[in-house]
Chain A
């Protein structure tokens, strides 16, 4: 069975979505955020905080149909 999630990448990561702001993707049930990132060839070290439905989550979290995933780049600062 497939689920559909909304996916947003922020800042420089947008290029992994061909500079689109967001996409919808179908994944196998039981897929995690890590599976989603792998589907877009996003390297681990290129990603920072992950939010699912506005809540900070780890990449091992299992997604459900209708989830909205936002991935931020690592930031340093300042």
Chain B
């Protein structure tokens, strides 16, 4: 089929063998690509109960039908596996140019199996696939490793690499590319580490056939001008994600001091204007005209970032209003290969546990010196880093601070306070990989929009619809920051693939993906009991700003959850009914 290379590369690290096979087209029909197709492959190929860090777990890198085309905002790569942090299904997406490179090498997907005998990296240059020695890279930071690989193989290669955190199989380790872009959540870096795989280096020189190139060339300039680059999306270029910080502050959903509050006194020092003041340039992914990445420099340190999530979790949530310190912290997390959302959470948790006398980690809200030392300590597994690397759930369980641990299914909360955006609470509780803002983002309609934010009314429908939208979007692989309609999505897939998808087909595909992810988790023993929120959200009122005095009452949460299960056609225990499986042809 056009738009696809119709080829999957499968690599066995144990015996260094590789093979190719046709892309499973009946699955493509239903799941499109990216997230959905990756989950389908994993669901069918992974034996239930497989330990996420065992050799038997698989790592699936998968593109979409639009990857490598000139269609804007389609440059991301999906990476699918079982999560070492949560035990759930895990799909992450990573920007940059690596997805297009994989497609140009002639593959829609790369499935990595088993474990290499020694530290290795995978080198792919079109049909050449080799497992090479990475002993000299093992133990190095992600930045140094990527630089060395580029020096060895030339500027044209694209690299996926882990830092020391991934090597040590930490549950908050990520995969990096282009130094500052991450597949961040759920410990995806640990899966690479568990396979003795330091990096994947890709160079592709092949072409890609699309359904209607002439039409594509004709419509893309207009589409970019009138849709992608309209006021609706252009904030991504002018400011990038830091724009969100002031919205969160104003609406009282900015996590502050380990989610004890929803507003932060020092917000003006870390908002979009503050980031713009240290910005040196912009950075875009393949095929993107929005260029959301802010290349910043503070003191002697340069990064691409910090993104909103880092500003919120490693800034306000740790009581830090020093942008230079946040940039240094961000840089250290990137080099160690650590997810800033989870690290920001666990540091804030340790700060509160210290403050409340639960356990002294030597960390204090707002204190920069001890904070700055944390990423290296976690990544290198030294001092308090050994404890902090446990993640919020296990750290709290070890010392008795469960009430302060902000996580769902073992994954730490992103930067939107659910007490001031109740639909966001439901979205966190029902997201397939634990607390995630990228499965549904109702905060945009609630706290930042016109819907009543602290109300359960109609939120189940909102969250369900948004989950279908994002699941379809991540399967076709469009970036979050292009708020395109289902109809446009369908038109573009049809142009690339010569298909006749309708908007309704994509909604159905989204529903199918959400249900399949649910079935995966169900098979691994997850139930309705896991679809919950940290106790603090139900019990502790926020202190200041627009959400002062707010909680999300557990009774209201339960009401939303029951309504959500009913709307989905699931059993009241949250399991997928047989009729739904048949209806969706899962």
A: residues with CB less than 8 A from B are 10-14, 43, 45-46, 48-49, 51, 54-56, 58, 70, 72-78
B448 CB-CB contact with A under 8 Å: yes
Given contacts A12-B231, A78-B481, 9 further A-B contacts (CB under 8 A): A12-B235, A12-B237, A12-B238, A43-B231, A73-B232, A75-B247, A76-B483, A78-B437, A78-B438
A10-B251 in contact given A77-B244, A77-B444 (Cβ < 8 Å): no
Cβ distance A14 to chain B, nearest Cβ, rounded Å: 8
Q: Which chain B residues numbered 200 to 249 have a C-beta less than 8 Å away from chain A?
A: 230-235, 237-239, 241, 243-244, 246-247
Question: Of A54, A72, A74, A78, which contacts B232 at CB under 8 A?
Answer: A74
Confirm or deny: B45 has a beta carbon within 8 angstroms of a beta carbon on chain A.
no
> Is B444 a contact partner of A75 (Cβ separation < 8 A)?
yes
Check if B272 sits within 8 Å of A11, measured CB to CB. Answer: yes
Closest to B481 in A: A76
Q: How far is the CB of A2 from chain B (nearest CB, A)?
A: 27
Contact of B481 among A11, A45, A70, A77 (CB under 8 A): A77
Distance of A67 from chain B, by nearest CB (Å): 15
| A49-B251 in contact (CB<8A) | yes
B247 touches A11 (CB 8 A): no
Q: Is the CB of B231 within 8 A of A77?
A: no
| A76 near B444: Cβ-Cβ < 8 Å | yes
Which residues of chain A are within 8 angstroms of B482 by Cβ–Cβ distance?
76
Question: What is the CA–CA distance of A49 and B546 in the complex, to the nearest angstrom?
Answer: 14
B436 CB, nearest partner CB in chain A, Å? 10
Which residues from A are CB-within-8-Å of B404?
A: none
Query: Which residues from chain A contact B154 at a C-beta distance below 8 Å?
Result: none
A74 to B449 alpha-carbon distance, docked (Å): 9
Docked Cα-Cα span, A76 to B234, in Å, equals 11
Question: In the assembly, what is the distance between CA of A63 and CA of B154, in Å?
Answer: 60
Q: Is B259 an interface residue (CB 8 A)?
A: no
Contact mask for chain B residues 237-272; partner A; CB cutoff 8 A; 1 contact, 0 none: 111010110110011000000000000000000001
* CA–CA, A35 and B287, complex, Å: 39
Subset of 23 A-B contacts with CB under 8 Å: A10-B246, A11-B238, A12-B231, A12-B234, A12-B235, A45-B232, A46-B230, A48-B448, A55-B546, A73-B231, A73-B235, A74-B235, A75-B244, A75-B444, A75-B448, A76-B232, A76-B481, A77-B241, A77-B244, A77-B437, A77-B441, A77-B481, A78-B441
Residues of B within 8 A of A45 (CB): 231-232
Q: Is the CB of A49 within 8 A of B250?
A: yes
A60 to chain B, nearest CB (A): 11
Query: Is the CB of B529 closer than 8 A to any CB of chain A?
Result: no
User: Using Cβ atoms and an 8 Å threshold, which residues of chain A touch B448?
Assistant: 48-49, 72, 75
- Please list the residues of chain B having a beta carbon within 8 angstroms of any beta carbon in chain A: 230-235, 237-239, 241, 243-244, 246-247, 250-251, 272, 308, 437-438, 441, 444, 448-450, 480-483, 546
Contacts of A74 in B (CB 8 A): 231-232, 235, 444, 483
Task: Decide: A54 near B238, CB < 8 A? Known: A77-B441, A78-B480.
Answer: no
Residues of B within 8 A of A43 (CB): 231
**Cα separation A70 to B247 with both chains bound (whole Å):** 10
Q: How far is the CA of A45 from the CA of B232 in the complex (A)?
A: 7
A73 to B481 Cα, complex, angstroms: 13
Q: How far is the CA of A73 from the CA of B483 in the complex (A)?
A: 13
Q: Which residues of B contact A78 (CB under 8 A)?
A: 241, 308, 437-438, 441, 480-481
Query: What residues of A have a CB within 8 angstroms of the CB of B437 in the complex?
Result: 77-78
- Complex-state Cα separation, A25 to B438, whole angstroms: 39
The smallest C-beta distance from A47 to any residue of chain B, in angstroms, reads 8
A70 to B239, CA, bound (A): 16
The distance in angstroms between the C-alpha atoms of A74 and B481, with both chains bound, is 11
Docked complex Cα distance between A75 and B240 (Å): 10
A58 → chain B closest CB, angstroms:
7
Distance from B312 Cβ to chain A, minimum over Cβ atoms (Å): 12
Q: Which residues of the other chain, A, contact B235 by a CB distance below 8 angstroms? A: 10-12, 73-75
Is A77 within 8 A of B232, CB to CB?
no
Complex CA gap A60/B448 in Å reads 16
- Which residues of the other chain, A, contact B272 by a CB distance below 8 angstroms? 10-11
Residues of chain A with a CB closer than 8 A to B308's CB: 77-78
Least distance between A70 CB and chain B CB atoms (Å): 8
Determine whether the beta carbon of A10 is less than 8 Å from that of B546.
no
- Give the residue name and chain of the A residue nearest to B276 (CB): A11
Report the bound CA distance from A55 to B444 in whole Å.
16
| Distance in angstroms between the alpha carbons of A55 and B546 in the assembled complex | 7
Q: Which 6 A-B pairs give the minimum distances between C-beta atoms?
A: A46-B231, A12-B234, A76-B483, A11-B235, A78-B480, A73-B235
- Residues on A with C-beta less than 8 A from B231 are 12-13, 43, 45-46, 73-74
